[in-house]
């Protein structure tokens, strides 16, 4: 859905959109969309700002990703809000110095007369996902010796790798 600034000049745009898996590309991020992405919100042109646009709303979506530790596919249900500001890209050069000082609100840029809702949602979703995608905080991962998933069964492999902290202590004792 294209959020046209020309249309915003006339009225605030309201959206209530559902995107099925495959409509927005997540595969390159090793993510699989497992439930429809539903987004509701609005896009408006802010008065006396030289074209600044505010886009706010909420979305829900279910994604799965392989756990970074045990590789099992893990669910990441997301339900989040957003409140974003975008300026015309043509103003970058002119506002550059002011931009650095502003800090508190993140401002994006648009060109071509508006923004694609799909692009905004994709970016928000990727930002909302944790940097480390794990199936659970205390996932034990895969045994480096036998390759078993330690969450499913304990193995008898003795990990000979000594914890570095103890190694440091041992040196002190000598
Ligand atoms: Zn895991
Ligand atoms: Zn093992």
pLDDT in tens, 74-89: 999 999 999 999 999 8
d(CA 174, ligand 2 centre) in Å = 32
pTM here is 0.79
Distance 79 CA to ligand 2 centre (A): 37
Surrounding residues of ion ligand 2, Cβ less than 5 A = 143, 145-146, 155, 157
Q: How far is the CA of 2 from the centre of ligand 2 (A)?
A: 52
Checking if the pLDDT of 120 tops 70, the result is yes
Closest ligand relative to 159 C-alpha: 2
Ligand in nearest proximity to the CA of 152:
1
Task: Please report, for residues 21, 52, 130, the alpha-carbon distance to residue 71 in angstroms, rounded to integers and kept in the order given.
Answer: 22, 43, 16
pLDDT above 70: percentage of residues in the chain: 83
User: Does residue 132 or residue 38 have the better pLDDT?
Assistant: 38
Ligand 1 centroid – CA 154 distance (Å)? 14
């Amino acid at each position: 859905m294209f959020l046209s600034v020309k249309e915003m000049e006339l009225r605030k745009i309201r959206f209530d959109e559902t995107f099925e898996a495959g409509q927005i590309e997540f595969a390159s991020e090793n993510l699989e969309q497992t439930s429809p992405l539903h987004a509701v919100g609005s896009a408006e042109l802010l008065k006396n700002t030289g074209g600044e646009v505010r886009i706010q709303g909420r979305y829900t979506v279910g994604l799965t990703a392989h756990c970074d530790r045990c590789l099992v596919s893990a669910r990441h249900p997301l339900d989040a809000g957003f409140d974003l500001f975008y300026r015309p890209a043509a103003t970058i050069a002119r506002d550059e110095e002011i931009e650095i000082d502003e800090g508190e609100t993140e401002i994006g840029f648009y060109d071509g007369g508006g923004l694609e809702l799909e692009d905004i949602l994709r970016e928000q979703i990727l930002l909302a996902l944790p940097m480390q995608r794990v199936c659970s905080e205390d996932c034990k991962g895969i045994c480096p010796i036998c390759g078993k998933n330690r969450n499913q069964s304990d193995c008898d492999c003795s990990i000979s790798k000594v914890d570095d902290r103890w190694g440091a202590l041992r040196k002190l004792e000598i």
